């Protein structure tokens, strides 16, 4: 028996699932998001032929020892909207403030290095845009020690990103010369697709990282992109994650936020240096939290 086409979600069911999503991801779903949560989880209910959201919640809590369905739920509720060179001014600023000075310093180093993190990389357009920016602006890229960490909590998006395969429509806004230089044309069943060239794919390492859990590294980055991700967190989670980002930046490193995000409420942690571009201020203590304001 198939579940009804429309399954109502009770207050108790919404509260249970909302709290579980928050505990696992830091995503804060207030009551206006009830319809969104319901619509995104309906496919999972149909998958198991459940007739109530309480059955699905019980499955997550008591019948999912490996956490496979929990990850499927996380994949279902996360938002994935991205494109190549989205908010293009950030990539120009990266080239101006990080890559141009790096080129000059490279003359003094045997193997110059750069570390960049795309946090919340979705299907990969952002980290590959970073890779294209590096390839366009760094002299003798092959001589560099470059690593781009691209992370997301959505495993389905990470698998898509790893392939580096996109529709021709996805790159239609890029100059034809850039598409020719950085992408391979698909053939056969992939005739309407392109693939990021191996040189750029090899610069990027994809990993599942939950921003509200311990991070599996102690690296310092020249630049961190985390755009339109923490807007889904509540105030406390935002503050904790942003403090950790600040600690992960090199002294002249840059943090890029989304177009709808502002870090002015953390002005003792971040100094604005461009449009939604920030530099971490030197650490000092104790912090004054009396004037904290959410994004």
Query: Catalytic amino acids?
Result: 40, 152
Q: What's the half-sphere exposure (Cβ side, CA atoms, 13 Å) at 127?
A: 33
Q: Which residues pair with 149 in a beta bridge?
A: 117, 205
Q: Cβ(205)–Cβ(217) under 8 Å?
A: no
Peptide bond into 286 cis (omega under 30): yes
- Please state whether beta strands 193-196 and 183-185 pair in parallel, antiparallel, or not at all (unpaired): antiparallel
Give the model's pLDDT for residue 5.
66
* Complete DSSP assignment for 122-152: TTTHHHHHHHHHHHHHSTTGGGSEEEEEEEE
Contact between residue 81 and residue 122 where contact means Cβ atoms under 8 Å apart: yes
pLDDT of residue 284: 62
In this predicted model, what pLDDT tens digit does every residue of 45-60 receive, in sequence order? Answer: 999 999 999 999 999 9
Residue 39 has a pLDDT of: 94
Residue 1 is predicted with a pLDDT of 53
For residue 71, give the 3-state DSSP assignment: helix
Average of per-residue pLDDT across 267-271: 91
Q: What is the rounded CA–CA span in Å between residue 209 and residue 151? A: 6
Residue 294 has pLDDT above 50, yes or no: no
Q: List all residues 6 or more positions away from 88 whose beta carbon is below 8 Å from its beta carbon.
A: none
Q: What is the pLDDT of residues 126-183, one digit of tens each?
A: 999 999 999 999 988 888 899 999 999 999 999 999 999 999 999 999 999 999 999 9
As a whole number, mean pLDDT of residues 253-270 equals 90
∠ CA 155-160-161, nearest 5°, is 95
Instruction: Identify the residue with better confidence: 81 or 165.
Output: 165
Ordered domains of the chain (ranges, CATH): 11-77 (1.10.155.10), 89-166+195-280 (3.40.50.150)
Q: Taking 90 as the threshold, does the pLDDT of residue 188 lie above it? A: yes
Cα separation, 94 vs 197, in Å, equals 22
Per-residue model confidence (pLDDT) at position 269: 92
* pLDDT reported for residue 221: 97
pLDDT of residue 2: 53
Is the pLDDT reported for residue 291 higher than 70?
no
Question: pTM for this structure?
Answer: 0.90
Cβ(134)–Cβ(99) below 8 Å: yes
- Is pLDDT larger for residue 225 or for residue 291? 225
């Amino acid at each position: 028996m198939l579940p009804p086409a429309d399954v109502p979600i009770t207050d108790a069911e919404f509260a249970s699932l909302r709290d579980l999503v928050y505990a696992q991801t830091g995503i804060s779903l207030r009551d206006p998001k009830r319809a969104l949560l319901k619509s995104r989880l309906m496919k999972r209910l149909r998958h198991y032929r459940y007739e109530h959201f309480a059955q699905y919640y019980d499955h997550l809590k008591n019948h999912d020892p490996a956490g496979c369905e929990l990850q499927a739920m996380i994949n279902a509720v996360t938002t994935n909207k991205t494109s190549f060179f989205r908010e293009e001014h950030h990539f120009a600023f990266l080239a101006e403030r990080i890559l141009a000075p790096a080129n000059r310093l490279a003359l003094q180093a045997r193997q110059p290095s750069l570390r960049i993190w795309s946090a919340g990389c979705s299907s990969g357009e952002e980290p590959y845009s970073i890779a294209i920016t590096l390839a366009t602006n760094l002299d003798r890229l092959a001589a560099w020690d470059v690593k781009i960490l691209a992370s997301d909590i959505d495993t389905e998006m990470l698998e898509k990103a790893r392939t580096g395969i996109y529709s021709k429509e996805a790159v239609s806004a890029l100059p034809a010369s850039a598409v020719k230089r950085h992408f391979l044309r698909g053939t056969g069943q992939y005739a309407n697709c392109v693939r990021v060239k191996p040189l750029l794919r090899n610069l990027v390492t994809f990993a599942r990282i939950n921003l509200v859990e311990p991070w599996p590294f102690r690296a310092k980055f020249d630049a961190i992109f985390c755009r339109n991700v923490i807007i889904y967190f509540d105030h406390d989670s935002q503050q904790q994650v942003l403090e950790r980002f600040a600690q992960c930046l090199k002294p002249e490193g840059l943090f890029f936020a989304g177009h709808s995000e502002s870090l002015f409420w953390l002005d003792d942690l971040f100094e604005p240096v461009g449009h939604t571009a920030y530099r971490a201020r030197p650490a000092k203590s104790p912090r004054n939290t009396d004037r904290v304001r959410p994004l």
